Amino acid sequence: MTTVAKRSPELPGSYLRAAGHRFDVRKVRGDFPILRQQVRGRPLVYLDNAATSQKPQVVIDAISRYYERDNANIHRGIHFLSEHATEEYEAARRSMQAFLNAQDTTEIIFVRGATEAINLVAQTYGRTHVGAGDEVLITAMEHHSNIVPWQILCEEKGASLKVAPFNDSGELLLDEFAKLLGPRTKIVAVAHVSNALGTVNPVRRIIELAHQQNIPVLVDGAQAVPHFHVDVQALDCDFYAFSGHKVYGPTGIGVLYGKSALLDAMPPYQAGGDMISSVTFEKTIYNRLPYKFEAGTPHIAGAVGLGAAVTYMNGLGMEDIAAHEHDLLAYATEALSAIPDIRLIGTAKEKAAVLSFTLDDIHPHDIGTILDQEGIAIRTGHHCAQPVMQRFGIAATARASFALYNTREEIDALVEGIRKVRKVFA
Amino acid sequence: MPDLRDLYQDVILEHSKAPRNYHELKTANHKAEGYNPLCGDRFTIYLDLQDDSIHDIGFQGSGCAISKASASMMTQIVKGKSRAEVETLFDRFHKLVTGQSANGNQYQLGKLTVFSGVSEFPVRVKCATLAWHTLRAAFEGKEEVVSTENT
Ligand SMILES: Cc1ncc(COP(=O)(O)O)c(C=O)c1O
């Protein structure tokens, strides 16, 4: 998972960092203005990064600068600003291509986020390839956004949704998964990393298995791209989806990567301006990729902000980010395991940055309120993955999730906070 | 700054650990299920209604300390009360937990005033009122699940 990030010459941030420079979390924290504040009289300990990440100053500045200096509509004006805005937007697309190591910029479609990316594929590729009696295969650890779009599709088409199970540690049962692949399977959709359990799925192997039967695979990478380098060509996935706001970029922007041969053959998702090359009332000719899938004025500032976020991550180095977070996860796993009556939910061998737990029979909501009083932000609930909760026979978990700016001291604060929870409920 | 002790008062913790009337009711002639999708709290309330008054009441389900204690204490206070009396109580209770209650208005709430600390924790108001919404639905004999997100 931690192959060295490809450094593209197009990314200025990628050579800001001299080789061998140690990851300095103190310095990194200084890049995030929001972390400087106190909440409820305590320093903010932000451990809800799987929900959304905080934004470094360079991202905030890139968005401001765009509106202060470059704002115009893209791909249509011949004037100076429009040219500038178009160039900024397309530069962001090139950053995404390099970030995912896609073969071509035309394979990068800007969308609102992972949710829209998955819906796009379900409604275009899905609607043209899934028919009555066919099957869509997902896993039991998907986020609702990688369940419901397929359910809707299956209902509409008279197809059925198959679900590959996982074991008590939260590891996908690959044999069971393989057994569910068959001539009726028309598409596979799997999370790269589970948001509720932290499990890193063996997507390379999953894709191999599916491709042996010529079945395309969509990977939901919302919880993967923040934590380690992803190479869509090495994975050989057919579609890859992620959200900008979980990788230090703004909300309302995300990416769908798709292999160009598949994208080319797919009908458009939404219709309107920009996605056409000519319109008459008799016939409309669609624009070429990727614009065919980008109807209407896109979130230009969002794309620019996301570009800056990716540049920022590359500047730190994906390998160093992964190593830092791996250390945090190992440290936190050990520290939390030592607390009596804690049950970790999700103990897969391959994990990323997520620690879900329950504490005795104390409801996670109560844990969340008490930690909040200590300035510690975690998520409590079902994490939009109710089937995962059902699998473990629980209603909810408390979830701490880590980002590149978190520290061991913050995990110590979390542990202290949990001890306080136990005291209140003693 | 709100104080945790105001929220998690001993009485509340005690009720959440050993809820009263925590059982199905064989004689129930009304029942309703309440659900808070934000945190997954889910309770069923069973009512034995005689002439529009609560002859007996029971509840079951799972939820946080606040929602469970609130359900438990509610079942104690509403026994023997008419529907109109329950509505008045709910109204006062709602004002109490949303901080709109002048001291004089806490009349009749009795032990339920331990929930006044909830008003300092706005995101927990729904936990405290879930059982009451469900009780109201049970009176109406509604079969569908009532959700805190539609009320
Ligand atoms: C695994 C996973 N997939 C998809 C999503 C949906 O992302 P968004 O809400 O940004 O579209 C999330 C967000 O929590 C997620 O964790």
When scoring B3, B4, B118 by the number of chain A Cβ atoms within 10 A, the one with the most, hence best to mutate, is B4
Work out the mean pLDDT of chain B and round it to a whole number.
89
Indicate the top mutation candidate among A111, A351, A384 to test ligand 1's pocket, ranked by most ligand atoms within 8 A of CB. Answer: A384
pLDDT category at A17 given cuts 50, 70, 90 is: very low
Query: Choosing from A148, A173, A384, A415, which is the catalytic residue?
Result: A384
Residues A43 and A166: their CA atoms lie apart, in Å, by 38
Contact criterion met (CB < 8 Å) for B124 and A370:
no
Residues A260 and A103: their CA atoms lie apart, in Å, by 9
* CA-wise closest residue to A320 among A9, A19, A48: A19
Does the annotation count A154 as an active-site position? no
Q: How far is B38 from chain A (nearest CA, A)?
A: 7
pLDDT in tens, B106-124: 667 889 999 999 999 998 9
Position B38 scores a pLDDT of: 76
Superfamily of domain A13-55+317-424: Aspartate Aminotransferase, domain 1 (3.90.1150.10)
Q: How far is B8 from chain A (nearest CA, A)?
A: 8
B146, two tokens: 């009532």
CB–CB of A371/A417 below 8 Å? yes
> Which of B2, B4, B65 lies nearest to residue A363, judging by beta carbons?
B65
- In order, the DSSP letters of A178-231 are HHH--TTEEEEEEESB-TTT-BBP-HHHHHHHHHTTT--EEEE-TTTTTTS---
pLDDT category at A12 given cuts 50, 70, 90 is: very low
pLDDT in tens, B51-67: 989 999 999 999 999 99
Tell me the domain boundaries of chain A.
13-55+317-424, 60-314
Domains of chain B as residue ranges with CATH: 2-150 (3.90.1010.10)
Enumerate the β-bridge partners of residue B148.
Answer: none
Domain A60-314, second-level architecture = 3-Layer(aba) Sandwich (3.40)
Enumerate the β-bridge partners of residue A172.
Answer: A166
pLDDT in tens, A288-313: 999 999 999 999 999 999 999 999 99
CB–CB of A406/A53 below 8 Å? no
* CA-wise closest residue to A135 among A166, A157, A118: A157
Position A326 scores a pLDDT of: 97
What is the ipTM score, two decimals?
0.86
Question: Cα torsion for A256, A261, A265, A266, to the nearest 10°?
Answer: -10
